[in-house]
Amino acid sequence: MEINKIAKKDLRKSVLAVRRSMDREQVRAGSDKIADHLCAWPVYQSAKNVMLYLAMPDEPHMDKVISPALSAGKTICVPHIRDRGIMDAAIIANMDDLVVGEYNLLTPNPATLKLLDPGELDLIIVPGVAFDKDGRRLGMGAGFYDRFLLKAQKTELIGAAWAAQIMEKVPTDDHDRLVNFLVTENGIFTCREGKM
């Protein structure tokens, strides 16, 4: 196994252990703060087509962003994984467009699926296992986002994570796309420049 793969695997294991040690109240309170930071952020406010993720239990939750975004007239997309690990941007009109899917996680309803071309997205809120202050991202290892982000070259990217997931340096590969901003419970940061 090459050194970069070993480094990624080790970092993923240690950061996930920290994330999984959080209790429900910490996740709820932190998610509320992240939602408040995002909703007040001018880049988010001016974005018309926004892609959010549907959180695992220990990730920052985006539920508090989805309803106000829909009320504000934004087009909201969430990930839809199809055959061969290809990810699409599925438009949702409300939370009822989601069903419980694999691993007991919410997913777009296949019966009412409507997709948006990734190139039409203005903003993607990207989950990750770890990020660094230069915008490098370590995902879960399946490559869904890596492949998808290549199709959204002009889209603004913001990584969403807990402050404990922001590392000094995250190992990446040449094809990995950097995020320009990070949002944590502590605020929104411009990568390579520090806090906004």
Radius of gyration of the chain (CA): 16
- Residue-wise pLDDT for 54-106, tens only, equals 999 999 999 899 989 999 999 999 999 887 778 999 999 988 899 988 767 78
Residue 91 CA to residue 81 CA, distance in Å, equals: 13
- For residue 120, the model assigns a pLDDT of 97
Burial of 21 (0-12, 13-18, 19+ CB in 10 A): exposed
**CATH, residue 165:** 3.40.50.10420
**176/169: higher pLDDT:** 169
- Measured between alpha carbons, how far apart are the two ends of the chain, in Å? 39
- For residue 196, the model assigns a pLDDT of 39
Structural domain containing residue 185? 3-195
Tokens of 159: 């990584």
Tokens of 135: 């915008």
Counting Cα atoms < 13 Å in the Cβ hemisphere of 22 gives: 22
pLDDT band at 33 (very low <50, low <70, confident <90, very high): very high
Q: Give the torsion through C-alpha atoms of 174, 177, 179, 180, to 10 deg.
A: 80
Tokens of 26: 């910490």
Residues 6+ apart with CB under 8 A from 15: 129, 130, 138, 164, 165, 167
Residues 26, 28, 29, 31, CA torsion sign: positive
- Mean pLDDT value across residues 118-133: 96
Give the chain's mean pLDDT: 91
Model's pTM, two decimal places?
0.93
Where b means 16+ CB within 10 Å and e means fewer, 2-14 reads eeeeeebeebbee
Total structural domains within the chain: 1
